[in-house]
Structure 1
Amino acid sequence: MAKFSLGGDDDGGGPSNPTPKRRRIAVSCGIVGEDERQEIGNPSGTEDERDDIVQELEVLQGEEDLRNDDSGNCFGARSSNCGEDNNVFAPENRDRSISVTLSDPDVFDCCICYEPLSIPIFQCENGHIACSSCCVKLGNKCPTCSMPIGYNRCRAIEKVLESVKISCLNAQYGCKETIIYSKKIDHEKQCIYAPRTCPHSGCNFVAPSKELSLHFRRKHGDSARNFTYNCFFSIFLRVNDEVIVLQEQNGADLFMLKNKVGDLGNIVNVSCVCPNSFQKACHYDILARSQGCCLKIHCLAENNPGRKANNTAPTGFLLVPSWFFDSSGQLKLDIRIN
């Protein structure tokens, strides 16, 4: 539950009061508040007195309008007193941000897909909310009450989401960015401080991309196959090899050549370990030749956070039949990473 605390008083109108609340701010520039006007205009006075008071209030209201422009700045002959004595209209007081403690972060997640809510957000007649993609998947039928959903926007939650900013999940690894909650997943996918696991077997070192590259070069550099971007290089792959680490010799970027034995042959693909901040996608080519036959694939190098996450099924790969391997169980592959 999010708890908000704002300065200032209201007029006492509760949720059941149809009259909108007014914020009451004390200003010592001679401006009369709403409650004070009611007290001054008490019917106990004479009619002439009430007329004089009304005229005086109108004059004061006109002066107030002249002193304040749309941005809340204080103008006029008395502006210096407003800024110096009370500091009400000073620029530093225009920051209306508040601290919020969110005891249940899931309140900002879609109750259907459990992903962070993103604008537009829709609600049914009973107030149940869902993200736009879930509304379509459910045939615009609320899963909670079966009422139609996906036609009425929930503007209140949208405004809250636009105002809520959180620290990056990778703050402990050095990221100092604060992002809008609805952009949380997009940022985490591109954050250069996302933790990566060392691809070397038996090493549990975890660090952001740049640190991991330097760590691998210093500690495990001899175990990697160095290569240069946009140039073909050769790898001798054995049938049961699971991972061969590839490191670009200039930028120290890390890749993994992964090999998995299947029923129809070996599944081979290349994934990028780090960095996580490529401005352009990395593609790779793999060529396999045997007995006059040639197999070739051109594919996008998927992002992989490290050796421990290599159980995920790749979207692109080269299927090499078992008879492509020679009698010693080896196969020469020509690889180019662009």
Structure 2
Amino acid sequence: MVKGTNAEQALAREEASSSRPKRQRVPSIVEEEGENGGGDVVVRSGTLFELDLLDCPICCNALTIPIFQCDKGHIACSSCCTNVSNKCPYCSLAIGNYRSRIMERVVEAFIVRCPIVAGEASSSRQKRLRVPSIDEENGENGGRDVVVPSGTLSQLDLLDCPVCSKALKISIFQCENGHVACSSCCIELRYKCPSCSLPIDNYRCIIMEKVIKAIIVPCQNAKNGCTETFSCGNELVHEKKCSFALCYCPADNCNYAGVYKDLYSHYAANHGSLSTSFRCGHSIHACMIFESKSYVLQKHNGPLVVLQCFKEPQGLFWTVNCIAPSAPGVGKFSYELSYSTAGNTLTFRSSEMNRIQKVSFQTPEKDFMFIPEYILCPMGLYKGTYICIRSLEEEEEEEEDNED
């Protein structure tokens, strides 16, 4: 790093480039539609229980802007930089020349609950409320309640790589102007900062690595009943297969959304007359008029299967999907779809039915049965369509019983 004189001089320097526009982190905000069709915006957050990470390691006071770091990633507040004559007490390298700007933004964004007044929380501000690690309060009954203070970070996009927009993971690097990037992006960028063109592979942002490792993030479906929590970045893998993910009603003009079991009950109670019941292993006739575009099957107040047809100039595209989250043991079916007319029969078999959370009305690009225009029924009534749905779980159980 180029040497400077002290923290005051570094603070007076202008940044080499403007900061990036804030990215909308996709998993941070979930728009949920209730039965009334309204959209509730749920802002997701992460929790930090190791609040000492937000303290200056030298004076142990809450970190405030500006925050500086040495070449090895040790940090200090501006007052301590002056007190130690801009010499890092841990490695003796210069400290006070270069800002840890990502850490400054994180410290600013944290909201810390006051342990003294229950229900109160401090707003985002320049100085964090400093509290002990564990506060033991005597209750009226003489007992002792242990209160572990924590901080909440609602701006989870601060914990994403500004280059690839994925969750930051160890190792995190920064350039001399404080711009950060994940190790993968550093390689892709050939170690050149995209914001200011300075080298970005020389200096680790150790404090941010510690913060990211310590932050606990709930599943985005916590509001729906999921109790799983994860270290930051690891929640995304779980959420793709979470059984509490919202599923949307396939009935026309219905805005109901809920977990899959509640959706199945809702559909049976409110739209049962619109669906056809199916039994696994039994072929049923799916007589469908093209204008309806979709045909719903339900297994005795249970899983919902939607058949859809999409008319294009070259022919007809048929799809079959189960409305269910991609969770283990939920909505696992195989199926066979056939269409017959004028002595011609087309058959499509799928070893595993696709699972979707919401019906789409766009022509599919894969996993469809195509019926050429020249063999379609000219009346627009697709009465020659049959489907047989099988439960993969039941088949697996039968195979296990046969082996025994």
TM-score by length of 2: 0.55
Aligned residue among 293, 305, 308 for 1:255: 305
Q: Residue in 2 aligned with 1:37?
A: none
| Residues 1:106 and 1:321: Cα distance change in structure 2 (over 3 Å) | same
How far 1:17 moved relative to its partner? 3.8
1:18 corresponds to which of 67, 83, 88: 88
What is the alpha-carbon distance in structure 1 between the residues aligned to residue 208 and residue 55 of structure 2? 24
1:22-171 alignment, distance < 5 Å = 98-117=149-168, 119-123=169-173, 125-126=175-176, 128-131=179-182, 134=185, 142-146=193-197, 156-171=207-222
Amino acid at match of 1:265: G
Give % identity.
27
Retained in 1: the 8 A contact 2:172–2:208?
no
Contact 1:284 1:301 survives alignment (8 Å): yes
The reply to whether residue 303 of structure 1 matches residue 355 of structure 2 is: yes
Are the equivalent residues in 1 in contact too, given 2:175–2:193 (CA < 8 A)?
Answer: no
Residue 172 of structure 1, aligned match among 223, 248, 266: 223
Contact 2:229 2:235 in 1 (8 A): no
Quick one: which amino acid aligns to residue 90 of structure 2? P
Instruction: Give the Å deviation of 1:252.
Output: 0.5
Query: How far is the alpha carbon of 1:101 from its aligned partner?
Result: 2.7
Aligned residues: 263
Aligned to 1:199: 250
Question: Which of 265, 271, 279 is residue 329 of structure 2 equivalent to?
Answer: 279
**How far apart are the structure 2 equivalents of 1:223 and 1:128?**
56
Instruction: Assess if the C-alpha contact under 8 Å between 2:212 and 2:231 holds in 1.
Output: yes
Question: In structure 2, do the counterparts of structure 1 residues 312 and 291 end up closer, same or farther at CA, with 3 Å as the change threshold?
Answer: closer
**Inter-partner Cα distance in structure 1 for 2:296 and 2:328:** 19
| Matched-pair contact (CA < 8 Å) for 1:265–1:320 | yes
Aligned residue among 214, 228, 240 for 1:189: 240
Structure showing the higher helix proportion among its residues: 1
Q: CA deviation at 1:128?
A: 4.1
SS of 2:291 mapped into structure 1: coil
Shift in CA distance, 312/240, structure 1 to aligned 2, threshold 3 Å: closer
CA shift for structure 1 position 152? 8.4
Task: Quote how far apart the aligned CAs of 1:214 are.
Answer: 0.6
Of residues 181-190 and 270-279 in structure 1, the stretch that sits farther from structure 2 once superposed is: 270-279
| Aligned residues of 1:122 and 1:149 also touching (Cα < 8 A) | no
The answer as to 2:243 corresponding to 1:243 is no
Corresponding position of 2:260:
209
Please list the CA deviations of residues 4-23 of structure 1 after superposition, one character each: whole Å capped at 9, or x if unmatched: 743999654735442139xx
Deviation at 1:209, TM superposition (A): 0.8
3-state DSSP of counterpart to 1:240? helix
- Larger deviation, residues 1-10 vs 324-333: 1-10
Deviation readout 1:305-331 (Å, 9 max, x if unpaired): 224x44484532112123333232222
Does the residue aligned with 1:191 lie in a helix, a strand or coil?
A: coil
Deviation at residue 233 of structure 1 after TM alignment: 2.5
Question: Which residue of 1 is the match for residue 377 of structure 2?
Answer: 326
Contact in 2 for aligned 1:121/1:131 (Cα 8 Å): yes
> Which residue of 2 is the match for residue 224 of structure 1?
275
Cα distance 1:114–1:125, how it changes in 2: closer, same or farther (>3 A)? Answer: closer
Q: Do the aligned partners of 1:124 and 1:150 also contact (CA within 8 Å) in 2?
A: yes
Q: Distance in 2 between matches of 1:137 and 1:267?
A: 40
Name the aligned partner's letter for residue 270 of structure 2.
K
Highest CA radius of gyration, 1 or 2?
Answer: 1
Alpha-carbon offset, residue 142 of structure 1 = 4.4
Kindly state the Cα deviation for residue 201 of structure 1 after the two structures are TM-superposed. 0.9
Give per-residue Cα distances to partners, 1:241-264, cap 9 Å, x unaligned.
Answer: 311112123x60112112111121
Contact 2:317 2:363 in 1 (8 A): no
CA distance in 2, matches of 1:205, 1:106: 30
Q: Please give the alpha-carbon distance, in whole angstroms, between the structure 1 residues aligned to 2:385 and 2:224.
A: 37
Structure 1 spans left out of the alignment, 5+ residues: 22-91
Q: Which runs of 5+ in 2 are unaligned?
A: 1-45, 60-75, 92-144, 391-404
Match of 1:210, SS state, is: helix
d(CA) in 2 for partners of 1:327, 1:265: 12
Aligned residues of 1:121 and 1:157 also touching (Cα < 8 A): no
- Give the distance between the partners of 1:141 and 1:8, measured in 2 at CA: 31
Alpha-carbon displacement from aligned partner over 1:61-117 (angstroms, at most 9, x marks no partner): xxxxxxxxxxxxxxxxxxxxxxxxxxxxxxx99x9x751232532111222333333
- Maintained 8 Å contact 2:47/2:150: no
Residues 172, 103 of structure 1: alpha-carbon distance in 2 compared, 3 angstrom cutoff: closer
8 Å CA contact 1:286–1:334 kept in 2: the answer is yes
How has the CA–CA distance of structure 1 residues 9 and 147 changed in structure 2, closer, same or farther, with 3 Å as cutoff?
closer
CA contact (8 A) 2:317 2:364 kept: no
Rounded Cα–Cα distance in structure 2 between residues aligned with 1:170 and 1:116:
18
- 1:267 counterpart residue number: 317
